[in-house]
Structure 1
């Protein structure tokens, strides 16, 4: 194992207290941020340092020149989660958990929950500095296209959709080689703009302190020193061949022009999800990669 730590010296926090007071009159969510040099820290090392605080995510980009793709975004310990199983919606935050049956699809419910936030942008804040992060499972298509039949049984027991509301983030700007530490101030939740600003700056300082801690990184080649487990498919060879023949019939009849038959493979894995992500990005790097540990 090798320790990795950095001495981080941020630039002054933006906006200033006076500017924040003015911005707080225009909305109820104001991003407060500090910028640091990102020459010794990487998105993955930063993720490994902060991901112990509840749910966490990393959207990693290898782009440098694009306007949006130049950023890698990560966060942990979100302020709330929204989970959907069919029409059943569960909302959890740091104060409560409640469940209800929705009359609309999950995205409409998410939009309704997000309506209370009125963000105010300023200065050089990145394009995304907080909000809903998560996934829609394939099966959630039934909420938007009711004619698609529901499977006979739920084989995985995973939510149809799961989103977290991220309020404190690390954003790597690969073009400028900068790390932006963002803490969104929720003005309505505090007695005054001053206390909201103080809370945001304290969260920034706490996150920088986490980044300054040494990180003990296990060697990557040690991850491959195990017997390759046998993969199990959810579809037999005969079932898969039948799907292909059926797909060809639909295409020949003009009902579809492209169909992608699929099957799921499963293997037992005793390592951590971060170790698996490290191995995948090493053997099969991509311009865009992600890991979400949400539940």
Structure 2
């Protein structure tokens, strides 16, 4: 399935004066799906480009037994499959243009439990919850940190003049009480059992963890702003 039209993108300068984070703050307020891969500091080859995407052409969600596909203003299409990652590849075309690290494609998240698609381990994930979610982006914004230049790329449709920009200030961010899925006594028992297994020679290494849950409300971008100020890095 080709959503990109022509195989090679057009890249042109974009006339916006703010830095990459300020631009993203103003754009992201107007779209339900967007992303920022920001490089602030580090080796030149790692921190050369920051990337922004907004309003993807398609949203793909992968489950343990299906994928769902939703185009803009269209109904959701369901494809039954036991290999959602392979199905995702059908939406992506390779480009010979190596001028930049990213010129469109799939951007999203993969749940930790996706390992169950690759390894035969017990299924504990809720089958109604997606294992992965990706937006398929066929245009976007690049900030060249070396040249201090803002660029816009696209394949078929130039949407640079349609960008919705809103000048908004950050609002409050609040968290509920954090609760673990195991209390301290339960978790300590698991640790002690693991120590015994190691002592008996049944295992030599184990990674133990517990899940912490909380509800969050407010401006999530404000949290990111604080983190980028505390710890700027090539990958944000």
Structure 1 stretches of 5 or more lacking a match?
A: 1-26, 186-198, 290-295
d(CA) in 2 for partners of 1:162, 1:135? 6
State the 1:170 CA deviation.
1.1
Structure 2 stretches of 5 or more lacking a match?
A: none
Change (3 A) 1:247 1:96: same
Partner of 2:66: 88
d(CA) in 2 for partners of 1:64, 1:37? 26
Give deviations 1:76-109, integer Å, cap 9, x for gaps.
1001111012121111112442112114x22211
The normalised TM-score by structure 1 is 0.67
State the 1:265 CA deviation.
2.5
State the 1:143 CA deviation.
0.3
Higher helix share: 1
- Is 1:97 aligned to 2:97, yes or no? no
- Is 1:142 aligned to 2:110, yes or no? no
Native 8 Å contact 2:46 2:234 kept in 1:
no
Partner of 1:263: 210
Give deviations 1:175-197, integer Å, cap 9, x for gaps.
22111111222xxxxxxxxxxxx
- Is 1:79 aligned to 2:57, yes or no? yes
d(CA) in 1 for partners of 2:87, 2:218? 36
- Is 1:181 aligned to 2:152, yes or no? yes
State the 1:29 CA deviation.
2.6
Report the number of matched residues. Answer: 229
Change (3 A) 1:120 1:233: same
Change (3 A) 1:236 1:31: same
Partner of 1:288: 235
Aligned positions of 1:1-295 closer than 5 A = 28-36=6-14, 40-51=17-28, 52-63=30-41, 65-94=43-72, 95-103=74-82, 105-114=83-92, 117=93, 119-121=95-97, 125-145=99-119, 147-151=120-124, 154=126, 158-185=129-156, 199-200=157-158, 203-207=159-163, 210=164, 213=165, 215-218=167-170, 223=172, 229-252=176-199, 253=201, 255-257=203-205, 259-289=206-236
Native 8 Å contact 2:172 2:219 kept in 1:
no
d(CA) in 1 for partners of 2:48, 2:94? 26
Change (3 A) 1:126 1:255: same
Change (3 A) 1:118 1:72: closer
Partner of 1:19: none
- Which consecutive aligned stretches of 4+ in structure 1 deviate over 6 angstroms post-superposition? none
State the 1:120 CA deviation.
4.9
The normalised TM-score by structure 2 is 0.82
Tell me how large the CA RMSD over aligned residues is.
2.9
Change (3 A) 1:254 1:112: farther
Change (3 A) 1:286 1:125: closer
d(CA) in 2 for partners of 1:63, 1:283? 12
Native 8 Å contact 1:232 1:266 kept in 2:
yes
